[in-house]
């Protein structure tokens, strides 16, 4: 049970966000405790894509070699049309590593979570399970949390990394998760069970009308990871029981053979309805601060959700370390203000871009053909799409690079592209 022994930082939630922040702060010499409601620390789900803005931080933490040894470094990322199977555009990931200085890799979520868990243990983080937090309050010297079993705990600051359904978020705003009416099916299986040859040197994304399909390798290529995402007609019709396996099959019925052959491998006993929240620009309430999905749950189309959570902890720890006086005391108000000055705007950009990206991926009819023509014309070595996201994580608003705004399809010059009726 949580001891009465006060800590510098009390973290609620032991997901990738909570544990990575705990490690970042503990390696600065701070006393850190993590309260996790589950009976054990762990992650469900399958793969995660980790882009250079995150591998840069893993390198700074001294964890990159371990992460690389557990994951896969694919050679390319290829986007194809899910209906005709044709290639639309690609990223050369070796060149991407050359440009950004750090690799793009894919890893099993539980492996990445395990890396942070072991790192926390090495740094002496107090890791507490069976601790469900139900309330927060600021005190004269810090912040206090209440637990479901009646206990309480305190820290000089409290970081709420309690995910999409965050209790702490209610201190700041009375909002609800926004349903996208899309649902994700996942699968992670031994490669032998795939029943056919799959090219694991690439991260493959097929985009199609109201659906998309992602595929890559895990664990040195021993495992195949797949994600199948589609819009649920039952959700659009307002039915309670939406996103069911029958909907999965019909959503992918008109896709190319390559995609269709992956659908029978999907897990069918569990699926993830996809929610995000509208961006929130205030994350700090006195001595309590939000971090990770609690602050900025995205739609996953940018594959930046876990990465943003890891960046949050890195930024906060850097600001805390920079505001430590000779006697070791930290100006926490200053550190939290600096954190809040830079992270909400970055995450707002990712959240809104992820929504727009989803619309682009899921187009049908003429807009789909126009999108395909624009993507096929793209120079694969043009990094203006990714500079604002894969470059170094900004510590201040001045360091935040300008955002890349994709050309809105309705205003783009599409004359001469397929489907242009005047041509």
Min separation Cβ 41 and ligand FAD, Å: 8
Distances (CA, A) of 269 to 35, 56, 212: 29, 36, 20
Compute the distance between CA of residue 336 and CA of residue 333 in angstroms, rounded to an integer.
5
Compute the distance between CA of residue 26 and CA of residue 316 in angstroms, rounded to an integer.
12
Compute the distance between CA of residue 386 and CA of residue 234 in angstroms, rounded to an integer.
35
Min separation Cβ 406 and ligand FAD, Å: 20
Cβ proximity to ligand FAD: between 107 and 363 the closer is 107
Min separation Cβ 304 and ligand FAD, Å: 5
Min separation Cβ 418 and ligand FAD, Å: 31
Residues of this chain that interact with ligand FAD (CB under 6 A) are 12-18, 35-38, 48-49, 131-133, 161-164, 167, 184, 227, 272, 292-293, 300, 303-307, 309
User: Annotated catalytic sites, by residue?
Assistant: 216
Compute the distance between CA of residue 320 and CA of residue 30 in angstroms, rounded to an integer.
10
- Say if residues 358 and 303 touch (Cβ distance below 8 Å): no
Min separation Cβ 373 and ligand FAD, Å: 27
Cβ proximity to ligand FAD: between 260 and 273 the closer is 273
Cβ proximity to ligand FAD: between 79 and 414 the closer is 79
């Amino acid at each position: 049970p949580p001891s009465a022994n006060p800590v510098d930082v009390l973290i609620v939630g032991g997901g990738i966000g909570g544990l990575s922040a705990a490690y970042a702060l503990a390696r600065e010499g701070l006393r850190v405790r993590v309260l996790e409601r589950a009976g054990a620390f762990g992650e469900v789900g399958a793969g995660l894509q980790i882009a250079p803005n995150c591998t840069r931080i893993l390198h700074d933490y001294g964890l990159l070699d371990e992460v690389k040894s557990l994951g896969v470094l694919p050679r390319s990322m290829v986007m194809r049309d899910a209906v005709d199977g044709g290639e639309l555009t690609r990223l050369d990931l070796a060149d991407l590593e050359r440009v950004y200085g750090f690799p793009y890799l894919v890893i099993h979520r539980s492996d990445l979570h395990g890396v942070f868990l072991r790192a926390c243990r090495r740094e002496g983080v107090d890791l507490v399970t069976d601790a469900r937090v139900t309330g927060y309050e600021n005190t004269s010297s810090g912040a206090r949390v209440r637990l479901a079993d009646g206990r309480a705990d305190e820290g000089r600051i409290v970081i709420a990394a309690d995910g999409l359904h965050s209790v702490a978020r209610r201190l700041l705003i009375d909002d609800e998760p926004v349903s996208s009416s899309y649902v994700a099916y996942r699968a992670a299986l031994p490669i032998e069970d795939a029943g056919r040859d799959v090219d694991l040197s690439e991260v493959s994304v097929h985009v199609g009308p109201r659906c998309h399909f992602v595929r890559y390798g895990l664990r040195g290529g021993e495992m195949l990871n797949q994600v199948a995402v589609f819009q649920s007609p039952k959700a659009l019709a307002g039915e309670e029981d939406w996103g069911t396996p029958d909907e999965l099959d019909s959503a992918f019925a008109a896709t190319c053979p390559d995609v269709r052959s992956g659908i029978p491998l999907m897990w069918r006993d569990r699926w993830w309805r996809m929610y995000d929240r509208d961006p929130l620009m205030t994350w700090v309430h006195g001595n309590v601060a939000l971090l990770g999905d609690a602050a900025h749950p995205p739609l996953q189309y940018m594959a930046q959700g876990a990465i943003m959570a890891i960046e949050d902890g890195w930024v906060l720890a850097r600001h805390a370390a920079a505001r430590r006086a000779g006697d070791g005391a930290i100006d926490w108000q200053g550190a939290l203000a600096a954190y809040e000055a830079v992270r909400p705007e970055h995450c707002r950009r990712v959240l809104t871009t992820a929504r727009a990206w989803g619309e682009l991926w899921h187009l049908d009819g003429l807009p789909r053909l126009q999108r395909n023509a624009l993507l096929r014309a793209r120079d694969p070595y043009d990094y203006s799409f990714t500079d604002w996201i894969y470059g170094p994580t900004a510590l201040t608003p001045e360091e935040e690079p300008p955002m890349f705004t994709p050309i809105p399809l309705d205003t783009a010059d599409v004359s001469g592209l397929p489907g242009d009726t005047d041509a």
